[in-house]
Amino acid sequence: MQSKTMANPYNPYGDDKVIAACSIFGMMDTSGRRFSGADVTRAIANMHDRGNGLGGGFGVYGIYPEHADKYALHIMFEDSLTRRDVEAFLRDSFHIAYAEEVPTRPARGIVNPPVVWRYFVSLNDRRPGDLTEDDLVVQKIMQINTTFSAACVFSSGKNMGVFKGVGYPEDISAFFRLDEYEGYLWTAHGRFPTNTKGWWGGAHPFSILDWTVVHNGEISSYGINRRYLEMFGYHCTMHTDTEVVAYAVDLLLRRHNLPMEIAAKVFAPPLWSRIDRLEEGSAERALLTTLRQVYSSLLLNGPFTVIIAHEGEMIGLTDRIRLRPLIAGTKGDVLYLSSEEAAIRLICPDLEQAWSPMGGEPIVGRLKTDKQRKTAPAKEWAVV
Amino acid sequence: MLKTLLPSRFIVERDPDRCIQCQVCVRQCGFDVHYYDAEDDVVRARDEQCVACHRCVAYCPTDALTIRKNPLSYRDNFNWRPETIEDIIKQAETGGILLTGMGNDKSYPIYWDHLVLNASQVTNPSIDPLREPMELRTYLGRRPDSVEIDWETGRLKTSLTPLVPLEVPVMFSAISYGAISLNVHESLARAAREAGTLFNTGEGGLHRSLYQYGPNTTVQVASGRFGVHSEYLDVARMIEIKIGQGAKPGIGGHLPGEKVSAEVAKTRMIPRGTDALSPAPHHDIYSIEDLSQLIYALKEATNYTKPVSVKIAAVHNSAAIASGIVRAGADIVAIDGLRGATGAAPKMIRDNVGIPIELALASVDQRLREEGIRNRASIVCAGGIRNSADVVKAIALGADAVYIGTAALIAIGCHVCQACHTGRCSWGITTTNDYLVKRINPDIAAQRLVNLLRAWSLEIKEMLGGMGVNALESLRGNRLHLRGVGLTDTELEILGVRMAGS
């Protein structure tokens, strides 16, 4: 593990932002059926050449049903001394229901890995009244990640987990024994950074609480997206485009209470020429116009494809002129999202349909069993 | 009268082999430089009156004329330069304040020329505006921090205060009727309508014949309140309170009585031939809470149908002032920099008061963001915008749109001779002399202005595409697309821009 210093390991040369190209893959069974990581690993391995071995990772939902009400913290440590200090901090901040080392096995290409532990925690009683549980957990994680230079919390949601590191994704999968886990939603990422040395924490997915983002692209509007988010208290310390996407999603969905379909119209809005053709005074025209007027600084401009996931939901989205690939496929209850169609067909030869979504058109998969979830109001937007 | 001791600044050269004594130059010169000597049947020149506006050169049918700088040498002296010496001579002869026109002509750093733009190579594709859509549309005005949706119906619950759309992020600066002719005002208005932007009346009211251009008009309310009445406010798309202007921060507008013709007098609601001197401050604004009252008085008067802009000169505390203006309820803050132009200003003030617009713009945008109120107002940058690259750099620094004044006037003939205050403009622009104003044909001038905006739009799209974005809003405030060259650490820090190569 490269030493994580306060000088920002994500961005050792102090670049404006970290540039990376990638392969991404997502697979969700909307019936809630859980399946192992074997297929997802084969699929992302099929896109081996889109990465360069400097980062691979997976996000899995539904893997810890026995601890479903606890925040599952995945923490990587450079040394055992740090682990002792961090654990003291955890005991002070949380109630730790269960802790164990994340089981690994030696794998090809995985050199000098960190020690990875997981902690299932809930909040103790000493909680200031004006913060939500989520806010407080975020605060504590930020505190650990900035205070302890040899530790990194890289996963913090409930009943989900992120596994990532330096290596090709298939090697990371082998290392973390992902064939032994079962989840209903998997995302995967193979990374091709152009300028950073590999660092375990720097691989995708990027996550905060149960939100994960895997991303292929370079967001040319990064400078203004970041400055806009700073006004709302988000500090993009890692200088990655992906971080901007994660915070933007958090702002629009969690804090501004917008449905994903509408957030997608902020990130990849229709052209004015299309909005102008809508009927004058129509609700859709008013909505799209207002979104562009208010959230112009959150337009994610430049080439990108992202797969965003959180509990019960997976969303694929490209920039509005689709400068990076995204293929969607379905069979039965299963939704696939991938950089390349071949990766889907490898694990599902009898795919029912496969298509390239239009630029800026979100592809959303939702758990059918989830009665609690608010459903998006605008049905005409592509919802699987 | 004593002959002036001032030497001529320019020499008019006439090629006798080409001159045909047609006297076009005599009729074209607004400064009575050329005259016909009937006795000798020859056209001669009074060099000392020449301002180098090139009207005669452009209209001479045989290309017989050229204007040269008077090479008259003084003894070299870095302290007592010719301009300094001549200013003293003028004041010794007249006992008056030195007056001038146009913007600051001194050699202060032009930061636009120390900022360079980014372009995509390999890791992201540049976008070709000849083949892909490229969006420049901009909305000016106040935005809420978030949009609210009704989850049941999917409909919008948020309603916005009025915003002004611009198809090109360039508006015409405030130039008053009186400072310029009605034909120029009409040309600006027609061009604004055709190009989808706004022109600005300046502080001299709006002639009734131009009310039809109201949807493309910003009406100004300045300390003199010239021409301000309810109908004037009603026809406008936007209202601008003029606190200051970059050419003369801290003082009010000046229109010499010579330029106050019958129509100007009627439009301004003042007697014909009287000097129209705006007070230095608004007499009802002595602090920020007074400004707030005026903003809301104007909003009340127009039933909250129009955004209100507040225009200030860029001065030392612009960032804090702008913050106060936004909190006072302004929907737009317009900042006019050190190089902003004017029809008439005291030379010492024009050349020495205020700060460069680039620095003011960067610090205002940053301050409003730090205070979390940048959404509440748009920023318009004015004063010295010369070309489309300046526009792009201003937007990357944080401007929502820019004003152009001098550039627009150059498009319709101005040669920046700095004699606007004389009212004798040979090009018929900064004059109300009936003989001269006819030189601006609104059909032609409006077309030239539209051409300029079109050309700049095409260039802006090319630059945007090169940076890999297809909407102007993705560049707005995106300082990562700028790099500095030849700047100190402090300058880079204030501009919020990194050194080229870093």
CA B282 to CA B290: how far, in whole Å? 10
A373 and B CB contact within 8 Å: no
Contacts of residue B392, Cβ cutoff 8 Å, sequence gap at least 6? B117, B460, B463, B464, B475
Residue B438: per-residue pLDDT:
96
CA A64 to CA A119: how far, in whole Å? 11
Residue A159 region by backbone torsions, left for phi larger than 0, else alpha for psi between -120 and 50, else beta:
left
B161 and A CB contact within 8 Å: no
CB A75 within 8 A of CB A4: no
Of B146, B163, B470, the CB nearest to A321: B470
CATH topology of domain A20-366: Glutamine Phosphoribosylpyrophosphate, subunit 1, domain 1 (3.60.20)
CA B260 to CA B141: how far, in whole Å? 34
Mean pLDDT, all residues of chain A: 87
Q: What residues 111-130 of chain B have any CB closer than 8 A to a CB of chain A?
A: 120, 123-125, 127
Q: What residues 285-344 of chain B have any CB closer than 8 A to a CB of chain A?
A: none
B375-395: pLDDT as tens digits = 999 999 999 999 999 999 999
Q: Are strands B308-313 and B332-336 parallel, antiparallel or unpaired?
A: parallel
**Statement: the pTM of the whole predicted model exceeds 0.80:** yes
- The DSSP element (H or E) to which B388 belongs, if any, is helix B388-397
CA A248 to CA A315: how far, in whole Å? 14
Mean pLDDT across A92-97:
92
Mean pLDDT across B443-466:
98
A222 and B CB contact within 8 Å: yes
Write the single-letter amino acid at B94: T
A96-142: pLDDT as tens digits = 999 999 999 999 988 889 999 999 999 876 666 677 888 889 888 88
Q: Which residues of A touch B148 (CB under 8 A)?
A: 256-257
Question: Within 13 Å of residue B379, how many CA atoms lie on the same side as its CB?
Answer: 32
* A230 with B124: Cβ contact below 8 A: no
CA A61 to chain B, closest CA, distance in angstroms equals 26
CB B428 within 8 A of CB B439: yes
For the stretch B423-457, what's the b/e string if a residue is b when 16 or more beta carbons lie within 10 angstroms of its beta carbon? Answer: bbbbbbbbbbbeebbebbebeebbbebbebbeebb
Which residues are A59's β-sheet partners?
A162, A187
Strands (E), A124-243: 151-155, 160-165, 182-183, 185-193, 206-208, 211-217
Strands (E), A209-326: 211-217, 304-310, 313-318
Residues of A with a catalytic annotation lie at: 22
Nearest to A163 by CA among A121, A212, A197: A212
User: What is the ipTM score, two decimals?
Assistant: 0.90
CA A294 to chain B, closest CA, distance in angstroms equals 6
Nearest CA in chain A to B136: A272
* A296 with B476: Cβ contact below 8 A: yes
CA B169 to chain A, closest CA, distance in angstroms equals 15
Instruction: Please give the distance of CA A138 from its chain centroid, rounded to a whole number.
Output: 15
A33 and B CB contact within 8 Å: no
- List the single best residue of A275, A301, A323, A373 to mutate versus B (max B Cβ within 10 A): A301
My answer on whether omega of the bond before A325 falls inside 30° of 0, hence cis, is no
Of A194, A292, A301, the CB nearest to B469: A301
Domain ranges of chain A: 20-366
B78-134: pLDDT as tens digits = 999 999 999 999 999 999 999 999 999 999 999 999 999 999 988 788 999 999 999
Domains of chain B: 10-96 (3.30.70.20), 138-143+157-499 (3.20.20.70)
B41-87: pLDDT as tens digits = 999 999 999 999 999 999 999 999 999 999 999 999 999 999 999 99
Instruction: Please give the distance of CA A318 from its chain centroid, rounded to a whole number.
Output: 15
B478 and A CB contact within 8 Å: yes
CA B195 to CA B166: how far, in whole Å? 9
- The DSSP element (H or E) to which A291 belongs, if any, is helix A283-294
pLDDT band at A65 (very low <50, low <70, confident <90, very high): very high
Q: What residues 342-381 of chain B have any CB closer than 8 A to a CB of chain A?
A: 369, 372, 374-375
B498 and A CB contact within 8 Å: yes
CA A104 to CA A179: how far, in whole Å? 11
